[in-house]
Structure 1
Amino acid sequence: MRTFLIALMCLAAGPALAEPSLIVLARHAERAEDGTKDPSISAAGQARAQALAEALKSAGVRHVITTHYRRTHQTAGPLLTAQGLSPKVFTIKPGAMPVHLQEVAAAVRELDGTVLIVGHSNTLAPLVNALGGPVVQELCETSFSHLFLMTPAAEGRRLVQARYGAVDPAPEGACQ
């Protein structure tokens, strides 16, 4: 009996398995064309960042993940400020996209509550899949309004695609 009680106490004292109640993936807002590799967001991007904060103000966002690029942090900025949060920043290393995707997916799986991930046209669709969602069509370089909402894995990882902010131009080619 004593062994059983010790085992039960160890289980109770162990870390609870966290899982997000909702994962929101958003494409970063429009960037300013300034000739650099790490541009800020443009005036249109600032308006879109405000629209994202407005769209998610009641979503209970507890965690925000961005990349090291300014445009992802600036897109999340109004929400970060409104919610008093700091982002968890992941660096995308050249040629290491699969590693980046797995690192972000592993970090998300350890969080709870609502998680916002602000990413790029080439990271959001693969992240949906890395998080257990379906294969999603690649995003166009000119599309900035994409939002993907994913339910917990325990509920079957349902995916809803939505839009935020201003309307994007019509897609060109085999992207969305």
Structure 2
Amino acid sequence: MKTIFMAMLAAILCACTTVTPQAPATSATAQKTVYVIRHLQKGAGDDPSLTAEGAANAQALAGMLKAKGIVAAFATPTRRAMETAAPLAAQLGFDVTPYDPRDPAALAAAIAAASGSVLVVGHSNTVPDLVAQFGGTKPGPLGDGDYGMLFAVGPGGSVEALQVR
């Protein structure tokens, strides 16, 4: 009798519980552009800053993006990534938000919550996957010397590759 009661209770609970599937990360970017870039030229060491060339290119990046409706910038918590996004964030009046590259779901949720386009600064080993995560066609791998390639992942998954100069 107890077994029958438990089975009936389980059936009732299953019938009353609905599971709402979560939308894929790409739907979070359906109405905004996500700009994805590898950090710019870096110095040597464990957590290096940008070189003078990298800092100049970060300024150029800010100039390229300042009129693109960007409302937030996300970067891994490394100096080089944060410094890549800093000039744009300073021009637009917000702070760079650090993200954990091992938790792409949290990054996608933060981008979904943003009210406009965003900049994401990653690394050579994460940028191709980030472009794909936000709905674009995954670009080829980036080498250690590949700096300044900016991927604009637009609504519908369109991808435009731009060079920061």
- TM-score of the superposition, structure 2-length normalised? 0.77
- Cα distance in 1 between the residues matched to 2:120 and 2:92: 15
Out of 138, 142, 154, the residue aligned to residue 141 of structure 2 is 138
Number of positions where the alignment pairs a residue of Structure 1 with one of Structure 2: 138
Select which of 75, 79, 87 maps to 2:84. Answer: 75
* 1:75, distance to aligned residue in structure 2 (A): 0.8
Q: 2: CA distance between counterparts of 1:18 and 1:149? A: 15
Shift of 1:39: 0.6
SS of the equivalent of 1:21 reads: coil
Q: How does 1:1-176 map to 2 (within 5 A)?
A: 19=29, 20-33=31-44, 35=45, 37-92=46-101, 97=102, 100-152=103-155, 156-165=156-165
Q: CA deviation at 1:150?
A: 1.1
* 2:147 partner letter: F
User: What is the deviation of 1:112?
Assistant: 2.3
Q: Is the 8 A contact 1:18 1:112 kept in 2?
A: no
Q: Secondary structure at the match of 2:124?
A: coil
Per the TM alignment, residue 18 of structure 1 is displaced from its structure 2 partner at its CA by 6.7
Q: CA RMSD in A?
A: 1.7
> Where does the alignment leave 5 or more consecutive residues of structure 1 unmatched?
1-16, 166-176
- Indicate the residue corresponding to 2:4 in structure 1: none
Contact 2:72 2:89 in 1 (8 A): no
Deviations along 1:28-77, one digit per CA (max 9) or x if unpaired, are 111111x2x21111111111111101111211210110111011110111
In structure 2, the gaps of 5 or more residues are 1-26
The percentage of counterpart residues that share the same residue type is 34
- Cα contact 1:105–1:127 (8 A) shared by 2: no
